[in-house]
């Protein structure tokens, strides 16, 4: 991402605003992909604990805590900066 920031700075200084906007769009896309990967990892964690629960017919306190934490993290990550829309509906 460092190279993208350097390119963005140079584009702005050289008044190549179309290029600067394209770089910003690319950075936003990279950010969204990172957020979606994080959400995916929390979903996998939840799924693993739920599968363990099905197989072992028990639910430990640590699993409950992990599931609860994962749900909270997903809610936090999924809410966009504008606080009115979500990455995943």
| Cα(39)–Cα(76) distance, integer angstroms | 10
Q: Provide the percentage of residues in the chain whose pLDDT is more than 90.
A: 78
Reported as a single tens digit per residue, the pLDDT across 50-80 is 999 999 999 899 999 999 999 999 999 999 8
Alpha helix positions (H), 1-89: 2-13, 17-56, 61-78
Residue 1 has pLDDT above 70, yes or no: no
pTM of this prediction exceeds 0.85: no
Q: Is 42 exposed, middle or buried (0-12, 13-18, 19+ CB in 10 A)?
A: buried
Domains of the chain, residue spans: 2-78
Q: For residues 4-24, give the mean pLDDT.
A: 93
The tokens 């997903």 sit on which residue? 74
Could you give the percent of the chain with pLDDT greater than 70? 99
11: Cβ–Cβ under 8 A, 6 or more apart, which residues?
A: 17, 19, 20, 23
């Amino acid at each position: 991402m460092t190279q993208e920031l350097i390119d963005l700075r140079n584009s702005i200084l050289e008044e190549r605003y179309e290029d600067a906007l394209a770089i910003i769009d690319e950075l936003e896309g990279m950010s969204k992909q990172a957020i979606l990967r994080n959400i995916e990892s929390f979903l996998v964690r939840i799924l693993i604990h739920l599968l363990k629960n099905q197989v072992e017919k028990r639910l430990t306190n640590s699993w409950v805590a992990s599931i609860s934490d994962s749900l909270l993290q997903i809610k936090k990550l999924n809410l966009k900066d504008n606080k009115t829309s979500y990455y995943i509906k």
